[in-house]
Amino acid sequence: MATFRFQRIPSASSGVAFAARAAAILLALAVAGLILAATGADPLDLGWQVISASFSSSFGLEDLALLVTPLILTGLSVAVAQQIGAWNIGAEGQFYAGAFGAAVVGLFVPGPPAFILPAMFAAGLLGGALWILIPTLARAYANVNELITTLLLNFVAILLVFYVSTSVWRDRTANSATPRMSAEIPEFWGSVHWGLPIAVLVAVAVGLCLAFSRWGYEVRLVGSNPSAAKYAGIPVRRHLIAVMLLSGAIAGLAGMLEVAGTVHRLQGGISNNYGYLGIMVAVLARSSAIGVIFSAALMAFILNSGIILQTQGLTTSAVLAITGLILFLTAIGDELAHYRITRDKA
């Protein structure tokens, strides 16, 4: 008698993965619609309001683009670390560190924008890399779990930025933020600045490097089998340090772009949890640097939809529940795409 069972395969085809994700999102929306209908709301009308506000005007598209930019980079930060088998839970803190470094240059270094912007760019990268340096060295030389160290440093960075932006660097007219930066990233479409194409190019460059360079091959080998990589003569510790510093620098770049391109000043809460959301972006992208671009776009749409739903009278709790449901079922769909029903003959 033949029996059937689920069998997991190493990778799923792009078509199957896309179908599984689409089915999961549709299921999540259907469940959310039933819940909203039970409360007396009109789910179809709310859905139309979300789509119309997001895609029928340049204002809605600009909001999506501004959300996508930091999500690409924080998601890429987490995804890069995963390539070598590390979990960078500190992208939030590195985002703040990058924003802090960029603000130091933007507020206190004199000079023309042609000089200040590259200096802010470098300071953002350096700030993010320095913020992950201690967890990196602790993991590389003492095998300390980077999950804890990167996570705890988030709170230090958040409180540091909150302190300087509301105290020593506070703009007397703004109270909770610093003065406006002396240099700003130019805009190329409405309020959307050149940080968006920079983020996309960084993701593509990192993806190509990981996929086609010798260094990328060695990083992936270390991530999949450190013992085999060490036996093959690959410098495991050196690659671990390089990848984690790169991960922190990318998150720091996200902070710099937010300061110099979107907010134009340093303030508490500048991240809007982009670092934590980057973890979900990386998971949805299955640690693919190129896939991060598309999962960041999905996450940006979900976040923007939540904002729109709140303007339509839904509570924050309801919006968070719907958002969580979509992400939860999407993650399940991604995982189920790797399973096939096989038949065993008796």
Nearest to 258 by CA among 127, 81, 146: 127
**Alpha carbon 231 to its chain's center:** 34
Give the pLDDT confidence score for residue 2 in this predicted structure: 57
Q: Which domain holds residue 278?
A: 42-313
**CB-based contact 4:344 (threshold 8 Å):** yes
Q: Is residue 194 part of a domain?
A: yes
Q: Is residue 218 part of a domain?
A: yes
Q: Is residue 228 part of a domain?
A: yes
Give the pLDDT confidence score for residue 312 in this predicted structure: 74
Beta partners for 344?
Answer: 3
CA distance 23 to 231: 43
Q: Is residue 335 part of a domain?
A: no
Q: What is the dihedral of CA 162, 144, 124, 59, to 10 degrees?
A: -70
Q: Is residue 66 part of a domain?
A: yes
CA distance 296 to 288: 12
Give the residue carrying structure tokens 């501004």: 66
Q: Is residue 3 part of a domain?
A: no
In tens digits, the chain (346 residues) has pLDDT values of 557 676 777 666 767 777 887 888 788 888 888 877 887 778 888 888 888 888 888 888 999 999 999 999 999 999 999 999 999 999 999 999 999 999 999 999 998 989 999 999 999 999 999 999 999 999 999 999 999 999 999 999 999 999 999 988 988 876 788 998 888 999 988 889 999 999 999 999 999 999 999 999 999 999 988 888 888 899 999 999 999 999 999 999 999 999 999 999 999 889 988 999 999 899 888 888 999 999 899 889 888 888 887 777 777 777 777 777 877 887 788 777 777 777 766 5
CA distance 267 to 310: 24
CA distance 94 to 158: 10
Q: Is residue 8 part of a domain?
A: no
Residue 180's domain is classified under what CATH number?
1.10.3470
**In the chain, how many domains are there?**
1
Give the pLDDT confidence score for residue 344 in this predicted structure: 64
For residue 220, with 0-12 CB atoms within 10 Å meaning exposed, 13-18 middle and 19 or more buried, which class applies?
middle
CA distance 7 to 90: 35
Q: Is residue 304 part of a domain?
A: yes
Give the pLDDT confidence score for residue 4 in this predicted structure: 65
Q: Side chain identity at 237, as an amino acid letter?
A: R
pTM: 0.89
